[in-house]
């Protein structure tokens, strides 16, 4: 059995569209970056902690992920307010940034963890465009304050790497980890 340790509707949708059968079990962990922790180490650690927190049987495969946006070494998570979202979007305007997702597949005592990185290039945005987008409410539960698959799609000039990573789950990486762990796709 595959367990998705996430409350993200985007992750559920990606897995469903790719043909995965799974149940959802939301872990309750605190998501706080440690001093001097690299963005890559941060998302990898959170994915592992989420998988461990959601595990209830050594027979199940638990999939967990965490996504952040990184620009100029700064980690942008979900905005705390509309003003925070506006600040993030103005920082991303007219420049590239990285979207990092830590993924962990836990089964029994074995954890397979990896980090996917995708480069995203934003158009230059005016303050009015940023305010209008933030007024939609879409940025509020998204790392980096935007949804590439939603209203923000018109701001994206190009993507280098896995598009699904930017949405929230690099499904090709998940598939590779499942195969490596011996997950049987026929059993669901």
What digits encode the pLDDT tens for the residues 50-86? Answer: 999 999 999 999 999 999 999 999 999 999 999 999 9
Q: What is the mean pLDDT of the chain?
A: 95
Catalytic residue among 35, 66, 84, 132: 66
Strands 110-122 and 96-107, bridge-based pairing:
antiparallel
Backbone angles phi, psi at 19, to 5 degrees: 90, 15
pLDDT of residue 109: 85
Sequential pLDDT tens for the chain (188 residues): 999 999 999 999 999 999 999 999 999 898 899 999 999 999 999 999 999 999 999 999 999 999 999 999 999 999 999 999 999 999 999 999 999 999 999 999 899 999 999 999 999 999 999 999 999 999 999 999 999 999 999 999 999 999 999 999 999 999 999 999 999 876 54
Q: Is 41 a catalytic residue?
A: no
The architecture that CATH gives domain 2-181 is Alpha-Beta Complex (3.90)
Structural domain boundaries of the chain?
A: 2-181
Q: Give yes or no for a contact between 18 and 63, defined as CB atoms under 8 angstroms apart.
A: no
CA-to-CA distance for 138 and 146, rounded, in angstroms?
7
Predicted structure pTM score: 0.94
């Amino acid at each position: 059995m595959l367990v998705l340790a996430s409350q993200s509707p985007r992750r559920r949708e990606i897995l469903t569209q790719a043909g995965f059968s799974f149940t959802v079990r939301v872990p309750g962990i605190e998501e706080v970056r440690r001093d001097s922790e690299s963005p890559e180490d941060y998302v990898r650690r959170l994915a592992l902690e989420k998988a461990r927190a959601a595990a209830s049987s050594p027979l199940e495969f638990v999939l967990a992920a965490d996504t952040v946006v990184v620009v100029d070494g700064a980690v942008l998570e979900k905005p705390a307010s509309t003003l925070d979202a506006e600040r993030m979007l103005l920082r991303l305007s007219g420049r590239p940034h990285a979207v990092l997702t830590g993924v962990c597949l836990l089964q029994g005592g074995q954890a397979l963890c990896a980090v996917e990185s995708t480069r995203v290039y934003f158009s230059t945005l005016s303050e009015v465009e940023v305010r209008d987008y933030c007024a939609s409410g879409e940025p509020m539960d998204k790392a980096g304050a935007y949804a590439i698959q939603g209203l923000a799609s018109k701001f994206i000039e190009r993507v280098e790497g896995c598009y699904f990573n930017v949405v929230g789950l690099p499904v090709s990486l998940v598939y590779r980890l499942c195969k490596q762990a011996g997950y049987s796709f026929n059993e669901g």
